[in-house]
């Protein structure tokens, strides 16, 4: 009788353990890619720390990609979203590109931040994943942001035409139709033609988008051009919006 009672207690303990383990399972797992083959943004370190803190606050895992040869199907199988944080240039070989394509085709997500649109210009599939590619930008200035799509979550901090200081990327033509624009910068609130180094902007006209999302090749893609400044990654409005984009890309929910 005593042994039977101990066995019941053991079974109950096991049930409690596995129930607790399931309850503590994170919502999803994100891989942060920061590889650069060009300009190295000062905001990279701040961005990694901010996304990892978002993970702690919102109960998801955020893992920094560190092994250049580790981008494989097996490695990516544990993740639901890949985040390109201020990447630049050609960062993947042809085999790694195929891994990324299969990841999205499997119904998973991509988040591109700032210079993710200044990455892999010759990889046509990727340019469609991002949606539009960086072309040029003027000097850093403060400008007014406008909300284009109120249905996307996390925009509470951008109501009332928020002023924002950034490097206002200008983009080439859409690489794919069906982009859903979320935020735009008002070009009447700054000077697109201010010189930056040897170049200056030319402006994009009435619609100058800085954030959008779309479904692509079986998966999801969210992009924001914001994130040049290290200070961006301590701004509550930006972090709330960024988390909403990560969450949508990882889960398809908004």
Q: To the nearest whole number, what is the mean pLDDT of the chain? A: 90
What was the pLDDT predicted at 108? Answer: 98
Q: Which DSSP symbol is given to 206?
A: S
Question: Do residues 32 and 63 touch, judged by C-beta distance below 8 A?
Answer: yes
Question: How confident is the model over 116-158, as pLDDT tens digits?
Answer: 999 999 999 999 999 999 999 999 999 999 999 999 999 999 9
φ, ψ at 113 (rounded to 5°)? -120, 125
The CATH number given to whatever domain includes residue 55 is 3.40.50.880
For residue 128, what are the domain limits?
2-251
Relative to beta strand 180-186, strand 141-147 is antiparallel
Predicted pLDDT at 68? 77
Backbone angles phi, psi at 167, to 5 degrees: -100, 105
Q: How many domains does the chain have?
A: 1
**Per-residue pLDDT, 43:** 87
- Cα dihedral across residues 102, 105, 106, 112: positive or negative: positive
pLDDT tens digits, 216-251: 999 999 999 999 999 999 999 999 999 999 999 999
Asked whether 202 and 167 are in contact (CB, 8 A), the reply is: no
DSSP string, 198-218: TEE-----S--EEEEEEEETT
pLDDT tens digits, 12-29: 444 344 433 444 689 999
């988390």: which residue's tokens?
A: 243
So what's the pLDDT on residue 246?
A: 98
Supply the pLDDT for residue 18: 41
Q: Which residue has the higher pLDDT, 25 or 5?
A: 25
Residue 69 — very low, low, confident or very high, per pLDDT cuts 50/70/90? confident
State the pLDDT at residue 39.
66
* pLDDT score recorded for residue 253: 97
Q: Which residue has the tokens 């990727």?
A: 126
The pLDDT tens digits of the residues spanning 147-205 come to 999 999 999 999 999 999 999 999 999 999 999 999 999 999 999 998 877 677 889 99
């Amino acid at each position: 009788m005593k042994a039977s009672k101990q066995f019941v207690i053991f079974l109950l303990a096991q049930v409690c353990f596995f129930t607790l383990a399931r309850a503590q399972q994170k919502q999803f797992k994100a891989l942060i890619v920061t590889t650069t083959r060009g300009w190295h943004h000062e905001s990279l370190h701040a961005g990694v720390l901010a996304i990892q803190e978002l993970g702690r606050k919102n109960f998801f895992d955020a893992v920094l990609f560190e092994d250049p040869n580790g981008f494989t199907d097996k490695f990516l199988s544990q993740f639901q979203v890949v985040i390109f944080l201020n990447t630049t240039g050609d960062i993947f070989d042809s085999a790694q590109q195929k891994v990324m394509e299969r990841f999205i085709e499997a119904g998973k997500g991509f988040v591109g931040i700032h210079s993710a649109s200044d990455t892999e210009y010759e990889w046509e599939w990727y340019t469609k994943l991002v949606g539009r590619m960086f072309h040029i930008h003027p000097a850093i200035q403060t400008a007014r942001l406008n909300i284009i799509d109120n249905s996307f979550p996390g925009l509470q901090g951008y109501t009332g035409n928020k002023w924002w200081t950034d490097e206002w990327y200008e983009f080439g033509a859409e690489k794919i139709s069906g982009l859903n624009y979320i935020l735009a910068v008002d070009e009447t609130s700054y000077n697109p033609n201010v010189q930056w180094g040897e170049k200056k902007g030319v402006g994009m006209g009435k619609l100058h988008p800085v954030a959008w999302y779309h479904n692509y090749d079986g998966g999801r893609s969210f992009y924001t051009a914001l994130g040049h400044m290290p200070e961006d990654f301590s701004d509550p409005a930006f972090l709330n919006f960024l988390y909403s984009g990560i969450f949508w890309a990882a889960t398809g929910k908004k």
